Amino acid sequence: MPSTPVLVLHGGAGTISRSMSPEKNTAYRRALSEIAAAGRDVLAAGGSAVDAVTETVRLLEENPLFNAAYGAVLTSAGEVELDAAVMRGQDRAAGAVTSVRRLRNPVLAARQVMEHSHHVLFCGAGAEAFAAEHGAELVDPDWFVLPERREQLERVRAQDPHAFVVDHDAAGLAAENQEGDEAEASLASGGDPIEPDSKRGTVGAVALDAAGHLAAATSTGGITNKQPGRVGDTPIFGAGTYADDRSCAVSATGMGEGFMRAVAAHEIAALMTYAGLSLTEAAATVIHERLPEVGGDGGLIAVDAQGNVSLPMNTTGMYRAVARVGGELQAAIHADEAV
């Protein structure tokens, strides 16, 4: 029986304040809905799951509301270092790039690695050179950097030169030092909706296509003020990204060290395959049991071969959307919103 194609995306998880300005709330929800609709359109036109997740993540990379490519956070050296991965469930083909600084769309480069190389993971200048040979667009590293990100880095350094903060969290540090109504006013006037030290910023998508195949893609700018060369879970298959037609496709968002130590994405597939758990049961076990065991938090999106969807998190929110071909599109931010 033909599958009903479905596209799921995420744009980061954390302790999301309900005091964000109406304008920012609307901007996030509009972006989630529009990008999910674009990914669904790929599936509706007969595109593969790989096509859908790649295009979805590319659009997220182009949107400065999210921490991936354009508008990514900065390292302690004041530079971007970007990671991305793509995995195809049909044959478990995979490609990833890490620590790149000039690739406009790292997710496209990851797909090029998957489709044009015998290798799986390229880093740094080697990744950029390989991708450029296959048509990837290169830009000046400064193209990615927004003034707000430089201000964010300076706020973190001012508090602790050795600290690192996940995604937009540094934008909330100013509010953290305010009290009561003053802090609320800062958020209400358009301040970042993520509480300090709590947003886990990555973007990703998973999909099931009409042929019954699964795919996953993930992209990130990492964490503010991170040590140059640090790599998180995004480009590590089985940790932050995984797809296997026999079980599920997964894209995670959270502090990468925890997802790597828990081998979180593959753990979901393993619980389904060897323990007989449903997608929902397996994903919940990983997020609410396995991750806390290693001090990890965040969320993930997952879809199985029957089109079941799971979006668990152990934070109070995650930017997310689900779009089924021929069905409704639903976007959400807070944990208590049904999707």
| Binding positions for substrate | 230-233, 253-256
pLDDT at 171: 38
- Is pLDDT at 225 greater than 90 in this prediction? no
Confidence of residue 184 (pLDDT cuts 50, 70, 90): very low
pLDDT at 187: 33
- ∠ CA 118-123-128, nearest 5°, is 85
Would you say 126 and 163 are in contact if contact means Cβ atoms under 8 Å apart? Answer: no
Mean pLDDT of 4-12: 97
Q: Which fold has domain 6-143+197-334?
A: Glutamine Phosphoribosylpyrophosphate, subunit 1, domain 1 (3.60.20)
- Is pLDDT at 188 greater than 70 in this prediction? no
pLDDT tens column, 98-122: 999 999 999 999 999 999 999 999 9
pLDDT at 162: 63
- Is pLDDT at 64 greater than 70 in this prediction? yes
Would you say 11 and 43 are in contact if contact means Cβ atoms under 8 Å apart? Answer: no
Mean pLDDT of 61-86: 94
Joined together, the tokens standing for residue 47 give 């595109």
pLDDT tens column, 39-58: 999 999 999 999 999 999 99
- Could you give the CA distance from residue 97 to residue 264 in angstroms, rounded to a whole number? 20
The DSSP symbol for 194 reads B
pLDDT at 14: 81
Q: Which residues are catalytic?
A: 202
pLDDT tens column, 253-299: 988 999 999 999 999 999 999 999 999 999 999 999 999 999 999 99
pLDDT at 2: 61
pLDDT tens column, 17-27: 787 889 999 99
**Every domain of the chain and the residues it spans:** 6-143+197-334
Mean pLDDT of 244-248: 98
- Could you give the CA distance from residue 125 to residue 122 in angstroms, rounded to a whole number? 9
- DSSP code per residue over 70-88: TT----TTS---EEEEEEE
For residue 261, what is the enclosing H or E element?
Answer: helix 256-261
pLDDT at 318: 95
Would you say 219 and 175 are in contact if contact means Cβ atoms under 8 Å apart? Answer: no
Give the least confident one: 181-185, 311-315, 326-330: 181-185
pLDDT at 81: 97
Sheet with strand 309-310: strands edge to edge? 241-243, 248-254, 298-304, 309-310
The DSSP symbol for 283 reads H
Relative orientation angle of helices 106-116 and 49-61, to the nearest 10 degrees: 150
Q: Amino acid letter at 98?
A: T
Mean pLDDT of 182-196: 39
| Binding positions | 230-233, 253-256
Report CA torsion sign: 89, 6, 280, 83.
Answer: positive
pTM (2 d.p.): 0.90
pLDDT tens column, 130-180: 999 999 999 999 999 998 888 887 887 787 676 665 553 333 433 343 333
pLDDT at 299: 96
Give the least confident one: 128-132, 152-156, 180-184, 312-316: 180-184
- Could you give the CA distance from residue 259 to residue 257 in angstroms, rounded to a whole number? 6
